[in-house]
Structures are given as C-alpha cells and as structure tokens.
C-alpha cells in the first residue's frame, strides 16, 4: 500500500473536518443499517482527533464499544476512468467502512493504514456517503491487549499500559485517484562504499501487463543522478550525500509505469542513503558509532488526544532540536506517517515500535503487582494474539520500511519476558520481523521485572533495550543506593556483548515544585535522578543510548499513582520546560 500522493498521474482529496458522530452503546448500528442513510441522532466530531476529550463528557471519555463516523464527499468529476481508493491512515483500534450501502473494508489494529478500491461504488462528479464504525475495545486478542470487565455500573475497560486508551480517527482520511494500471508498492534499501551510494529498488504493480517500470533518482536540487528500468534493480550514486543524524538528506526516486514514452502511473519515493549495522556492542549508522540521545514520546496533546496535529509536531521537533536530542522511540505504537516523514527530513533517528504494550499482567499503569490474570495462557495472551501481533509487525514494516529515520524495530514494550510462555510467544515474532525486513536490527524493550539472567526473550534481539527506574519505582528517593544497584545490573547486561539502549528512565516531576533538598516529585530531584543515571551510563561502554521517559507529561487512565496523568515529562503536557530541560540541553548540546 502506498501513501496517497499528488503526482502527474495521481490525485488525492483529504476528507478531514467535521464528521457526524455518535456512540452505539447497544451495538445496534449494524443491524439497524446506520450506514444506509444519514447517521441517526448524530452529533459532531473533528477528524483527525481522539473523540474522548473533545466532547467534554465523561461518558464519551470513558466509553467502550462501537462509535460511528459519517460524512459525504464529492468524487471529483475529473476522476472519470480512474481507480478510486478510500484510504484511512488509521482507525483506533479497528473499523468497518461502508461507501453508501456497500461494506468495503474492515481492519484490525489502531495505528496502521488500510484502504479499499471503491471504483465500482462511485460516480465521478457525484457525492458518496462514507460511514465508519470504529471500535475501541481492547481484548486479549488485540494489540495492545486489554479486557472489558462488566461491573454493576456497566462495562469498564481494563488494560496494562500506562497511557489513556484514546480512540477514533486519529489521522487523515483520503479519497485517492490512481490509474487502473498502477504501482502497488515500492521497496528501497541503500548501501554505500566510500563516496559511491547504491539504491536497490523493487516495484510491485497491478493491472500493468505490457507496461514497463522506469525509475529516475534525483537529488535535493532536482538534478538527475541515476536512472534504471525493470521491476527491480540497483542504481549507483556517485558522490553520494548520505542521510545522517542531524542532516536528513533525501533523494527522490520517481517510479513510472510506461509504454515507450507514455507514462501511465508515477509515484515518488523519498530515499535516504544510509546503512545501519550492529557490530559487537556498537550501533553503527553509516559505519560510525551512533549514540542515541532523546526520549520515549507519546502522541498526546490536550483535547485532541492522539489526533495528529502538524503544529504540535513541528513544535515538538523544534524542542528536540533545542534540547539537543537526536532520536526518539515511537513508544508505544506506530506514529503518524507525517511524523516519520518529518524525522526523515530533519535527520532525527527513530526506534519504531508496534502497539504491543501491556502484555504483562504483573504491571498496571506503572504499578507493580497489579495481578489477577496470567499473561500467557489459552484464555489470555494466546496463539490468536500472537497472530494479530505478527500482523501488526508486518503492517508496521510494510508502512515504514522506506524511512531512513527508522533504524531499529521494537516489536514490544515491557512484555512479561521471564517465563517459558514468553519465550514461545516471542521466538517466532522475531522471525516475522526479520523476514519482513532483513536490513534493520530487531529488538524488544525489557522491563525491570525480568532482569539480566532471568529474561528469556532478550537472547533473540540484536540490541538490548532496557527500561529502568532505579531511584523512582525502586530505591525511591535514595539515589545513592539506586546508583549502586543500577550499575551492578547494567554491568551484568554488558556481558551479553550487545549494544544497550536505555529506552526509559525517568522520575515524575510536578512542574513548579522546588526544593533545596531534592526529593521525589520536585524539579531538582528530576535533575539529580538524571545525573545519577548518566554517571552510570557513562561508566558502561556498551551503553549506546539514553532515551528519557518521557519527552512530555501525558494523559493516563485515572489511578492513585497518577495525578492528571504521567508527570515524567521533561516538558509539561503543553510543552513548557521543567528545570531538567536546561540540564539536558547542557549535557546534550553543551549549552544552557
């Protein structure tokens, strides 16, 4: 599947705006045919946005079940004879879509795109009704998992991850026109040897019998640097400008479907020439050791929730630059493709994560020991979950494989990983990731409950990613003891001979709370906590990265450990710096 694009042969029409919207607490909508006419009893909803906070109504915020979105759209009259596609960048966590009365597509998984060829159901120049039934329930067979508990007061969604279960249409919806004979997919991979770069490409086409593939590679000035033909091939780039952290140089590969000089379809794929390699305890980009500095982030903003917003995205990247970060992890789900495009262009390195978070019933919202279920069992996380998880990995790789910013796949965050069940569950999933993308390392993020010597899943990873909270969840307030315990554990991990990225360490901090004798929750403690961690990291050579939890405060489910959400941000939820931001700027940029 390709991203919607405007090219010489393609057009796209964005369907964002105000849609009709309603809850369907009794799940009546399908049986009552709500797609077959104007949505009965509907209110308004913004797209893109999470619906939860927009309505200013606790019943909507905490709602579990089906919700319906609807709008009409006119198919441009100039699209006659074209193939018309309806494309959703995401629908959280699953959706079924109708065009007028026709059911056209269903999709499981809340953070990857899906689309349907709707040519036969539309007439260019006329309006169609587009209806989506979106469902936000988490089950043991969804990624992420959860369960709906029936209480005397009604259904309550329970889950084991520490961010609010925002849902809805979080990203853009498009109508797209392509030629009937069209390019279906493009895959690129790159190498370089000295100043010579190579770009390997492979093109999938549909209904293109008798047509040829032609490719032209251009540099950022638009000058042609290489051309080739055939469904796959390798282009050579003399005097290549590499994509690197801090300098996101992008070539443009124009792929054309042609017969002689007639162009039937054209698609432009950006290409960053770079290599990624794990060698011993080093993580190499372009053959040079790379040290990750940055954050675990969230897609999380006031009111809009997980709805993509370009202003906030650009602002966040400016703050990353200001503070001297060179990377982030898309904790804990695939982010908007706009974010990855932007990271490509700005040379920010990305650890790309699936939505497999909370596969750990020993944890709940950051609270250890919230047991009650067994993680891996026929009734909980089981073979069906594994199939959904495998599909989530495939869809993530299919979507993001061409982004130079993505250097590492994270197939899960903090699953239970110290049991036989965990080993059986994860072994095949690493194979799935490697089969989908042989060019990038693969890992998963280890939790403190499965320390060195106990974890049975880290053996499968190319890289060790560790989340640790010494001085916060353990040795709370006692940084001296925390430092000793943390160094001891880290030195044990270093004996595995793999690069270690600390993908989370952080302390909840209430912006504005100060003390000359630092203790948990005040701004000075956050700095002292980070300084302690950095002393430990700097003394262990296998540590190749530090990503603080979190870039900004974010919304979570309600709980006695969370005051208006998780407060481990270096910035507040509205992106004001806490004192730690200036300390980090000093460490990472040498500027205060």
Query: Among 367, 304, 15, which Cα is nearest to 161's?
Result: 367
Q: Which of 89, 353, 414, 416 is catalytic?
A: 414
Query: Shortest distance, CB of residue 381 to ligand GCB, whole angstroms?
Result: 17
Nearer to ligand GCB, 107 or 332 (CB): 332
Our CA dihedral for 259, 261, 264, 268, rounded to 10 degrees, sits at: 120
Distance CA 376, CA 72 (A): 44
* Max Cα-Cα span within the chain: 76
Distance CA 538, CA 543 (A): 8
Our CA dihedral for 89, 92, 96, 101, rounded to 10 degrees, sits at: -70
Distance CA 73, CA 16 (A): 10
Query: Shortest distance, CB of residue 353 to ligand GCB, whole angstroms?
Result: 10
Nearer to ligand GCB, 293 or 568 (CB): 568
Query: Shortest distance, CB of residue 488 to ligand GCB, whole angstroms?
Result: 20
| Residue in this structure with the two tokens 């993680």, named with its chain if needed | 375
Q: b/e string for 211-222 if b means 16 or more Cβ within 10 A?
A: bebbbbbbbeee
Catalytic site residue 282?
Answer: no
Distance CA 71, CA 94 (A): 18
Nearer to ligand GCB, 135 or 165 (CB): 165
Q: Where are the beta strands (DSSP E) in 230-348?
A: 232-237, 251-259, 262-271, 276-279, 282-285, 288-289, 292-296, 327-329
Q: Report which residue's Cβ sits closest to ligand GCB.
A: 366
Query: Shortest distance, CB of residue 278 to ligand GCB, whole angstroms?
Result: 23
Distance CA 275, CA 352 (A): 16
Q: List interacting residues with ligand GCB (CB under 6 A).
A: 162, 332, 366, 413-414, 467, 504, 549, 566, 568
Query: Shortest distance, CB of residue 481 to ligand GCB, whole angstroms?
Result: 20
Q: In this structure, are strands 464-467 and 500-504 parallel, antiparallel, or unpaired?
A: parallel
Task: Kindly report the backbone phi and psi dihedral angles of residue 436, in degrees, each rounded to the nearest multiple of 5, phi listed first.
Answer: -70, -35
User: Rounded to the nearest 5 degrees, what angle is found at the Cα of 136, between the Cα atoms of 135 and 142?
Assistant: 100
The set of residues, in sequence order, having a beta carbon less than 8 Å from that of 320 and lying 6+ positions away, is 294, 295, 328, 348, 551
Query: Shortest distance, CB of residue 357 to ligand GCB, whole angstroms?
Result: 7
DSSP H or E segment with residue 132: strand 127-135
User: What tokens does 484 get?
Assistant: 């000793």
Query: Shortest distance, CB of residue 251 to ligand GCB, whole angstroms?
Result: 36
CB 301 within 8 A of CB 312: yes
Nearer to ligand GCB, 25 or 449 (CB): 449
Catalytic site residue 504?
Answer: yes
Nearer to ligand GCB, 309 or 414 (CB): 414
Query: Shortest distance, CB of residue 527 to ligand GCB, whole angstroms?
Result: 18
Query: Shortest distance, CB of residue 430 to ligand GCB, whole angstroms?
Result: 20
Nearer to ligand GCB, 21 or 549 (CB): 549
Q: Which of 89, 504, 523, 524 is catalytic?
A: 504
Distance CA 565, CA 561 (A): 9
- Give long-range contacts, CB 8 A cutoff, 24+ apart: 243-246: 243/272, 243/273, 243/274, 243/344, 243/347, 243/404, 244/274, 244/285, 244/286, 244/347, 245/285, 245/290, 245/326, 245/327, 245/347, 245/348, 245/349, 246/326, 246/347
Distance CA 518, CA 529 (A): 10
Nearer to ligand GCB, 48 or 364 (CB): 364
Nearer to ligand GCB, 115 or 553 (CB): 553
Give the residue numbers annotated as catalytic, written as ranges.
414, 504
């Amino acid at each position: 599947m390709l991203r919607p694009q405007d090219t010489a042969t393609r057009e796209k029409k964005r369907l964002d705006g105000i849609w009709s919207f309603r809850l369907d607490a009794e799940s009546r909508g399908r049986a009552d045919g709500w797609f077959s006419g104007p949505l009965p009893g509907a209110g308004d909803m913004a797209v893109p946005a999470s619906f939860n906070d927009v309505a200013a109504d606790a019943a909507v915020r905490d709602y579990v079940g089906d919700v319906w979105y609807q709008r009409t759209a006119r198919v441009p009259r100039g699209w006659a004879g074209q193939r018309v596609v309806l494309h959703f960048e995401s629908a959280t966590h699953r959706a079924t879509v109708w065009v007028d009365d026709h059911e056209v597509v269903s999709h499981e998984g809340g953070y990857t795109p899906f689309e349907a060829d709707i040519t036969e159901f539309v007439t260019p120049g006329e309006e169609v009704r587009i209806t989506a039934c979106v469902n936000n329930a988490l089950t043991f067979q969804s990624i992420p998992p959860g369960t709906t508990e029936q209480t005397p007061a009604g259904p309550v969604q329970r889950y084991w991850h520490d961010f609010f279960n925002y849902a809805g249409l979080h990203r853009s919806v498009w109508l797209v026109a392509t030629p009937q004979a069209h390019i279906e997919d493009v895959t690129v991979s790159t190498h370089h040897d000295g100043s010579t770069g190579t770009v390997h490409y492979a093109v999938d086409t549909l209904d293109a019998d008798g047509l040829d593939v032609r490719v032209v590679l251009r540099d950022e000035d638009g000058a042609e640097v290489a051309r080739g033909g055939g469904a796959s091939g390798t282009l050579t780039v003399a005097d290549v400008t590499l994509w690197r952290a801090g300098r996101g140089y992008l070539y443009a590969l124009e792929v054309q479907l042609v017969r002689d000089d007639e162009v039937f379809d054209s698609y432009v794929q950006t290409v960053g020439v770079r290599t990624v390699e794990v060698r011993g305890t080093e993580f190499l980009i372009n053959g040079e050791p790379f040290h990750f500095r940055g954050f675990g982030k969230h897609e999380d903003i006031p009111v809009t929730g997980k709805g993509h917003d370009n202003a906030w995205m650009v602002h966040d990247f400016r703050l990353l630059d200001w503070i001297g970060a060179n990377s982030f992890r898309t904790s804990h789900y695939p982010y908007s493709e706009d974010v990855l495009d932007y990271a490509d262009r700005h040379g920010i390195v990305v650890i790309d994560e699936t939505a497999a978070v909370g596969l750990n019933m020993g944890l709940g919202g950051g609270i250890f020991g919230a047991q009650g279920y067994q993680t891996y069992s026929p009734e909980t996380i089981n073979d069906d979950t594994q199939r959904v998880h495998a599909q989530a990995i495939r869809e993530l790789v299919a979507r993001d494989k061409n982004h130079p910013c993505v250097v590492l796949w994270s197939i899960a965050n903090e699953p239970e990983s110290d049991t036989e069940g965990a080993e059986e569950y994860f072994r095949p999933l690493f194979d799935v990731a490697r089969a989908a993308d042989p060019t990038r390392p693969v890992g998963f993020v280890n939790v403190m409950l499965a320390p060195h010597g106990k974890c049975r899943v880290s053996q499968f990873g190319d890289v060790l990613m560790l989340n640790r909270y010494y001085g916060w969840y353990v040795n709370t307030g006692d940084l001296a003891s925390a430092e000793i315990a943390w160094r001891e554990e880290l030195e044990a991990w270093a004996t595995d001979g793999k690069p270690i990225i600390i993908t989370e360490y952080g302390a909840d901090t209430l912006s504005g709370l100060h003390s000359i004798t630092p203790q948990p929750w005040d701004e000075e403690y956050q700095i002292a906590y980070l300084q302690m961690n950095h002393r430990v990291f700097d003394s262990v050579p296998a540590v190749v990265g530090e990503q603080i939890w979190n870039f900004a405060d974010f919304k979570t489910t309600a709980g006695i450990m969370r005051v208006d959400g998780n407060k481990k941000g270096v910035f507040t939820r509205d992106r004001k710096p806490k004192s730690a931001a200036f300390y980090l700027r000093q460490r990472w940029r040498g500027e205060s």
